[in-house]
Structure 1
Amino acid sequence: MAKSGSETAPSPFVKRNRAAPPGFFACEAAGLRWLASAPSGVPCVPVLDVTDHSLVLVRLDSVPPSAAAAREFGRRLARTHQAGARGFGAGPDGWDEDGWFGPLDSPMPVPLRSRASWGEYYAHDRLGPMAERAGRAFSEEHHAMLKELVRRCSAGDFDDAEPPSRIHGDLWSGNVMWTAEGAVLIDPAAHGGHRETDLAYLSLFGTPLFEEIVAGYQEEHPLRPGWRERQCLHQTFMLLVHVVLFGRSYVPPTMAAVERSLALA
């Protein structure tokens, strides 16, 4: 039977939170557009509309990932990172306020300001504040170790010659949608950061075909030797967030990451 008229347009996907802090959805929309503007980078879900309490996006249809799609995602992620940022910790171009990190129903504020170095930004705008927010979940000994890691980051012990990268900032596997056209990014906490952070988050809770993603990334923009050993350092913030959101069960993996980070040269 012949079809009459045009195909029905897919329904949009709407994110809503009546209690969202002012600018919450506008910040996410700015991040999606900023990431999507990277030449030949990873596509992002298109923004249709944004209000104080909602974000309207194109609805995506997911498919199982393939090795070829994962490798192409890695190549495109490298290009997104290479598009750069105004500084470490800086928000998307055109966004001059702070941002948020965490789930839709309980987003946590995070500073978005340009810092002189990655270590300074990571120490004072990520690790330190989130460790304080976790509070009594950690023992005095744990807090002492966390403070030492903050001190070493602030002192530049883990800095390198990498320029600020344009990173997704919350790139766990659930924020990568695999479609028939390839990987598409959703739900960013976009800012200028270290490119190893996105890869460390992808590996933290397991991402399908992660080694294919890495292979594609290395073809486009090889990572500095030792990046796998440094994943623990980049994962510490995400693990701290999980302590805050989900409780003490995440304290052991968090402190294991802190201990491994402190052992880095």
Structure 2
Amino acid sequence: MTTPLTAAIEGIGLWAPGVPSWEAFVGLHRGAGAPEAAPARPAPTLLPPNERRRAPDTVLVALQAAQAACEAAGRDPASLPSVFTSTYGELAITDNMCATLARAPTEVSPTRFHNSVHNAAAGYWTIGTGAMEPATAISAGQASFAMGLVEALAQLEAGAQAVLLVAYDGPAVGPLNDVLDSQGLLGVALVLARPAAGDRLRLSLQPGEATPAAPPAAVAAGNAMAPALVLLEAIAADAAQAVVAAGDGRGLRIGLGHG
């Protein structure tokens, strides 16, 4: 029998409108109200103020969640290989560039172009943290979170001691809104490490398909990365299993162990 891919969860980060942290998400799940005066926009402190102003919201939310996960894990961000997964990347800038290309192609902004590429968040992260470890950026449609998790676990199996997984998406705008389904802003991050005795929280991929669970409606409803919240909701509930979307109506079964 094949040994399932397993990891300890050392740290969790989250940012969504009105729910600016993992702790706020847990409180909401357990019946507490949403935090008062929650920030309207993520603002990761690892970026200088000028960079924060220039960076698109998808980059900011990814870095905010990633920074929080590393702090919770007590890990130096520069020491971690990273996996960034996003269903659509930066849709607002993509819409703007398409409109500019249709209207006046020579007016395409180089700054907007470099913020439009799918690995923009990974690039900002490595620059902001000084990380020299490998950074991977992937997209797999509705299975983006599930495949990001598989990639991170595979890197642990291949020898990495710990891996940072960052999942994020933003809203579709303009004509893209007619063909793509994503609303609001969401960033989720996990620091995953090789299992060891005394782990407080552990996950493992389990064999067999199952029907994916619906994401919680109270947080980031309609965001393309909302399937990631299925796992976080299961963790907050001390559940033994979560089933996240893996594409074509299939689900990835994730076992959870709570120490």
The higher relative CO (CA closer than 8 Å, separation ≥ 6) is in 2
Greater C-alpha radius of gyration: 1
Structure 2 length as normaliser, TM-score? 0.27
**Higher helix share goes to which structure?**
1
**Higher strand share goes to which structure?**
2
Structure 1 length as normaliser, TM-score? 0.27
